[in-house]
Amino acid sequence: MRNALREWLGGHVTINIRGKRFERFINRAVKEGLHIWNIKRLGEESGQFDMLVEDYKRIRPLLRETGCRTHVHARKGGPFWLRMVYRRLGFAIGALLFLIGVYMLSTFVWSVEVKGTKKLPVYKVLQVAEQYGIKRGAWQPALGEPTTLQRKLLGLLPEASWIGVEKTGTKIIIQVVEKEQPEKPPVEGPRNIIAKKKAVVHTILAEKGKTMVQKDQFVQKGQVLISGIIGNEMRQAVVAARGKVEGEVWYQTKVTVPLNQTRYMFTGHNQNNVYLTLGSQSIRIWPLQGDEYASFETKNEQTLLSLGRFLLPIGITSSDQMETEPQIRMLSKEQAIELAKQVARQDVLRQAEKDAKIADEKVLQIKEENGKVYLSMHYTVIEDITAEQPFTNVQPAP
């Protein structure tokens, strides 16, 4: 039975043997108790096998007996690895020191990220965290347990209802949940509600002020929809007009769709490259020779060293390259038209206001030329058309 540990510690060699009686040599070696494995024939009068280094010196009598000749093809195991390391002692020491340095650097904090803040300033959270040593360049074992840090931070940030501290490699993430504060209503000054674009009035909901238009009325941009001047000719008052007016707005858009659609899909192959960053220059330190992808997407994560509060232009960049390959899909004319309509709808809704709805769409023109489909569309969109117009001089509404 083979003993892999013994083979590696003692070392083993791969032997190429030549001779008409090399099969007899193998039989005699096994009979003499030599440990031989991976036996295979290379030719009519040649073969190959692996054996322990300690048994190599015992094959000379057998070679003389069978008239065979041998050649060491490969040397493997601990003794040969140590010999290689000794020959490259400088490189080995450098690699060892590099690994020790990387390990030591991994025990420090190189970035602090704050998540979950809305009204609480991030810089305030970082200032409080720094009081307890949570900052770039801090030694992680000296910081203490995350639960202890959470309790301390919460004591100095009354705006937060909960704080979580998570250590992820060389990064510390501070998760903040803010207390719900009742929002104070903004102070509103006298104003009109006007139309921000040409439209036909669809619905009117005036909460405060005087309605100046009717449903199905065409309005120009800047026309007053809800006036902030209320009352009659004898007695008037100014208020902050408030309400919602929706209108029918018309859009025309043109879309071009190629019949040959090229999409880049991930192949599942990826490679992580590690670079030593010096200023704007980068030197790849791992792997020394990597795969070269024809097309790929890259995701980078950079960690810079710091000295106290000073950020040094030296760091480590981890670059994850994900290979992609193009896939070509041939569309029919009908498929291209449907895709063009989807793109046109998205384009119109981007131009319209939030919560806009498409009420009607019409195809104005369809043309196929040079492997492309050209589509011209007309849309009727229901959207909010209001804008605020603060008073400069209080005048009666027209």
Locate the domains of the chain by residue range: 4-81, 111-178, 191-247, 261-329
Q: Which CATH architecture has domain 4-81?
A: 2-Layer Sandwich (3.30)
Cβ partners under 8 Å of residue 214, min gap 6: 201, 204
Report the distance separating Cα 140 and Cα 172, nearest Å: 9
395 pLDDT above the threshold of 70 = no
- Write down the pLDDT at residue 397: 42
Q: At what angle do helices 122-131 and 146-156 cross, to 10 degrees?
A: 120
Between CA 329 and CA 308 the distance in angstroms is 55
Fold equal for 4-81 and 111-178? no
The pLDDT of residue 396: 46
User: What pLDDT sits at residue 361?
Assistant: 93
**Mean pLDDT along residues 23-32:** 86
DSSP 315-354: EEEEEEEEEEEEEEEEPPHHHHHHHHHHHHHHHHHHHS-T
The answer to whether the beta carbons of residues 202 and 360 sit under 8 Å apart is no
Per the confidence metrics, is the pTM higher than 0.85?
Answer: no
Decide: residue 129, CB within 10 A, 0-12 exposed, 13-18 middle, 19+ buried.
Answer: buried
Residue 192 pLDDT > 50, yes or no? Answer: yes
Cβ-based burial of 141 (10 A; exposed 0-12, middle 13-18, buried ≥19): exposed
Convert the pLDDT of each residue in 121-174 to its tens digit.
888 888 888 888 888 888 878 887 888 888 888 888 888 888 888 887 778 888
Q: Please, what CATH class does the domain formed by 111-178 belong to?
A: alpha beta
